[in-house]
Chain A
Amino acid sequence: MRALHLKLLRDVGKMKGQMIAVSLIMACGLTMLIMTRSLIQSVESTRNAYYERYHFADLFCDLKRAPNAIGNRLAQIPGVAAVDTRVVGRMTLNLPGLAEPADGLIHSLPEGRPSQLNLLFLRRGRLPETGSRNEVAVGEAFAKAHGFEPGHEIAAVIHGAKQRLTIVGIVLSPEFVFESRPGETLPDNRRFGVFWMNERELATAFQLSGAFNNVLVDVAPGQQPAPVMAELDRVLAPYGGLIAYTRKDHASASRLNDELRVLHGLSIAFPTVFLSIAAFMTSAMLTRLIRLQREQIAQLKAFGYSSRQVGSHYLQFALVIVLIGLSTGTVAGMWFGGNVVSVYKRFFQFPALTFHPDISAIGLALLVSSGAAFAGVIGTVRQVMRLPPAEAMRPEPPAEYRTSLLERLGLGKLASPAFRMILRNIERRPAQALFTALGLALATGIPVVPGAIRDGIQFILNFQWDYAQRQDITLGLLEPGSASALSDIQHLPGVLSAEPFRSVPARLRFGHISRKLGVIGLPRDATLNRVLNEHGRPITLPPHGLLVSAKLAEILGAKVGDNITLEIQEGKRPRLEAPIHGVLTDFAGLAAYMDLEALHRLMREGSTVSGAYLSVDSSRLTDFLSRVKECPRIASMAVKDAVRGSFQKSTAEMIGMIQGLYFSFSIVVAFGVVYNSARIALSERSRDLATLRVIGFTHREVVGLMVGEIALLTLVALPFGLGIGSLLASGIIHTASTESVRLPLVLTSRTYATAVLIVLTSAVISCGVVSRRIRHLDLLAVLKSTE
């Protein structure tokens, strides 16, 4: 078999351009497969080990205040394996180099008993010592964003009291893998941090000595969480307990789950599409090769090689493609995967997140790619095996053509002979034309995806921050305040106007589905933070009833006019049946709005406010910020421009990477499909083209004839490609849309134009490479032989 191997090697050498083109398209699919599956494996295994080793809780519950003794009762609940009670609260920070105050969540560390759940991973330094004062451990993402190290001091306001805190350790916690304010899409590590402090000191600061306001529960293996949650809710209700929730509703855990879900989707969709195209191209290439080598095949058989040996020889061509594709795909998959991991590291905080190539994914890649390639060529190879040697010795009968559809319709007069050649060639091999067009359509569709993501994000930025939230600053109070609090805010320097809001935690229930969220009361004639419908028009708040996110209505299965149950989790915990008056368009989280006065009436309170939306004179912003930093009652503040800037910065890099990946794929596919198709056309028609050159056609005219067919297919493919791209973008955006963030599908002419430009440029360059071969066509040799 050595001679056959030599033949394989030399034939491969002669066809290397085409082999590489097909291999690269295969490699795109394998890159995606290996990258996504390795990422899933890396993140999942790291996460599972982290959660397990650091005892990430199964259930979580916030409450107003319960004496520590209640902790024992919770531990008695059947199905509970471990309980940790702790104090958790918000604090504001006055940081050097940051004009506006930052805020954070501070958690207690048990003293005199070991932590059982949500254990901390200590990166550097130590944990606060028992009995120490003003010592905190700080989350790594925030510390990194500010360059904080153990020994640094920061100025904080905890529950209205100013304190200087000393950082003693940099830590990570399984409950803050995604270290951000609950519900936020992207972390803003400069303006939000997480902290841990000794229990006694923190409880004193929050006036919760001997009590707790947060519970972590570990459910015993094999036990159902639902009965445990019901019992938790029952026991904690008298202590202002909010509803217990699982990891599924945990901000950090669910954000990580969303990411993995997107990866799972990509790991199936992309490889399928790329490998189908590669399979077809392998088939077209090998069919052509076998046609050219008919006589060689006959000779091999005449010499005594068995049909199986000859068949397996041609299968090895497919194997070579698979091997090149697999090795390229593996290298590219690891490279992109490594890059994605380094982006993940910025968003997801793990003690150690390293990219582990999923060996089984490479095995799977080998399996599916050889499956695809062999499926593509098996028909052709079987023809070879069946070919009787005597018949194969004779040259193939001449190609048969017939008039094209256009001519059969009587429109032939419209077409020049050259154009008729093109049409008849396409009609003669419809499958080849179809797959070439399909490949080009796919190449056109791919770059639409990152364009849609980029424009979707831009749309959100504009919609959210130019139309809906027109305030400059959002202030949140530590504790709900009275009308005088609003008046104080209005009198801060530079405040042009202030609109109050009231936020109360609640459970919304429709049928047996419920969600917990903050119901927000807004003044009916709000002009700063406005509630908008899907057309971007403000909706006036009804005197009764609710306006809810379209996504919330979808989750609850409720529609406008349905009565939903509102269970308020604050004050006297009133319940209310209220109709959904309308749905609103928003893109992050779930929201429910009520008329502010209606909410006051429901809560049986005066004009209580939770905070205010402000419009601030930009020339006095510095004054305003320095006053706010001194203000102990303010728990949180969001400066719109800063939030927007941080969001843009975080997304820009991500979009850049997605774009790089998708654009590369598109170029590879467009270039490869055109190159392969042009090379096959050239090989099939080199005789025709040489004849035309001999009888007086110029190089340019001959190139035009050959390129014409591809140009026509490209022109047909482009609109379909934009359609496919729109569907692809819609699918991916739909997969990536979750309760925490939803991208709208925004398709702009810029996106379409970019896609068309990428494909046209790749196609033109590819045609250029092949057309150089026409110049070097050996006219004399081609004319002397009969193929």
Chain B
Amino acid sequence: MPAATPEPQPNSSSPPEDGRKPLFSARGLEKVYTSGAGEVRALNGVDLDLYPGELVVLLGASGSGKSTLLNNLGGLDLPSAGTLTYQGRDLAHADEDTLTRFRRDSVGFVFQFYNLIPSLTARENVALITEIARNPMTPEAALALVDLADRMDHFPSQMSGGQQQRVAIARAIAKRPEVLLCDEPTGALDVKTGITVLEAIEHVNRNLGTLTVLITHNATIADMADRVVRLSDGKIVDIQRNPNRRSVRSLVW
């Protein structure tokens, strides 16, 4: 993990070479939590554009603000100051219903602890989403994408951690979201299982062209990204473009 350097924030809003319009655009994004002990500045002036189809890895120490940024992008939380737009629509001041609709239609989430509903089988966990989404694929197709076609009728308690996480990915992508947000998806998994999960994410990013934002503590994983964003103390300290994005299979850690 590189040490955070108090350099001026690099210009992260420059468009990529092909001149596409950004999906997300954040300017001067701030998030302040007030707790009993006082104020915690989780985000302190973040400028960031995210483009369709790219795979972005957020790196940073605990408390650097990467989860807060992800939560703001996913409509789970509202910024305290600054602007945040999605396809030109304001997310920073959206109401509860708008955010719910945004999450329902456009965002897929993958969590560290899978968060499957234990009382539903793999297929039913995915069906939960496909029933409310606008233009979903079938649960079977989503599970096939993550290579779980043969485990569809298993309950979470009957599956390994890696399998559960892949069900979670299938659940996240079944609605054909524009954005896939993954918060340490391999954090609870061993290396071998972690790779299968990352492969599934990579597969989705490549084949469906879904903007994928991935939080990790593991710098090696950054090699699979198009861009690597490093955060420290609520600020972006570095953005690296990866000219030769590596496939998951070739990663070594």
Contacts and interface: CB of A to CB of B under 8 A. Distances in A.
A687 B131 contact: no
Contacts of B71: 780
Interface in B91-144: 96-97, 100-101, 103-105, 107-109, 111-113, 115-121, 124-125, 127-129, 131-133
A562 interface: no
Nearest to A696: B104
A398 interface: yes
Contact of A428 (B74, B107, B119, B172): B119
B65 interface: no
Contact of A398 (B77, B118, B128): B118
Nearest to B106: A696
A699 to B, nearest CB: 7
Interface string A694-711: 111111010000000000
A692 B157 contact: no
Interface string B177-188: 000000100000
A461 to B, nearest CB: 55
Contact of B111 (A403, A417, A698, A783): A783
B117 A400 contact: no
Contacts of B74: 694
B227 interface: no
Most buried by A among B115, B125, B183: B115
Contact of B155 (A401, A691, A693, A696): A401
B60 interface: no
Nearest to B188: A786
B162 interface: no
Interface in A741-787: 779-780, 783-786
B103 A694 contact: yes
Contact of A425 (B115, B119, B121, B131): B119
B219 interface: no
A639 B101 CA distance: 74
A120 B201 CA distance: 97
A271 to B, nearest CB: 37
B81 to A, nearest CB: 19
Contact of A697 (B104, B118, B127): B104
Interface string B151-168: 000011100000000000
B66 interface: no
A128 to B, nearest CB: 83
Contact of B129 (A425, A695, A784, A785): A695
A416 interface: yes
Given A696-B129, A779-B76, A688 B117 contact: yes
Contacts of B127: 417
B95 to A, nearest CB: 12
A414 interface: no
A416 B131 contact: yes
Contacts of A400: 118, 155, 157
Contacts of A421: 117, 119-120
A402 interface: yes
A214 B115 CA distance: 88
Given A691-B117, A779-B76, A402 B129 contact: no
Contacts of B107: 696
Interface string A491-502: 000000000000
B176 interface: no
A780 B77 contact: yes
Nearest to A701: B132
A509 interface: no
A693 B124 CA distance: 17
Interface in A410-430: 416-418, 420-421, 424-425, 428
Secondary structure type dominating chain A contacts: helix
Interface residues of A, number: 34
B77 A687 contact: no
A691 B133 CA distance: 16
B235 interface: no
A505 B125 CA distance: 82
B132 A697 contact: yes
Given A400-B157, A401-B119, A694 B172 contact: no
Contacts of A695: 103-104, 108-109, 128-129, 171-172
A157 B82 CA distance: 100
Interface residues of B, number: 40
Given A417-B127, A417-B131, A688 B118 contact: yes
Interface string B24-64: 00000000000000000000000000000000000000000
A3 interface: no
B119 A424 contact: yes
Nearest to B114: A691
Contacts of B155: 400-402
A211 to B, nearest CB: 89
Contacts of A416: 131
A420 B117 contact: no
Contacts of A409: none
B230 to A, nearest CB: 21
A399 interface: yes
A102 B141 CA distance: 91
A784 B67 CA distance: 10
Instruction: Give the most central of B77, B119, B120, B124: most A CB within 10 Å.
Output: B119
Contacts of A699: 96, 100
B101 to A, nearest CB: 8
A257 B116 CA distance: 64
Interface string A192-208: 00000000000000000
B76 A696 contact: no
Contact of B124 (A420, A691, A696): A420
**Centre residue among A421, A696, A780 by max chain B CB count within 10 A:** A696
Given A779-B76, A780-B77, A698 B100 contact: yes
A398 B113 contact: no
A701 B97 CA distance: 12
A201 B188 CA distance: 105
A401 B76 CA distance: 29
Given A420-B124, A783-B113, A696 B119 contact: no
Interface of A: 397-403, 416-418, 420-421, 424-425, 428, 687-688, 690-699, 701, 779-780, 783-786
22 contacts: A397-B157, A398-B156, A399-B157, A400-B118, A401-B155, A417-B124, A420-B119, A421-B117, A421-B119, A421-B120, A691-B115, A691-B117, A693-B100, A694-B76, A695-B104, A695-B128, A696-B101, A698-B104, A780-B71, A783-B115, A783-B183, A785-B113
In order of increasing CB-CB distance, the 3 nearest A-B pairs are A696-B104, A691-B115, A424-B119
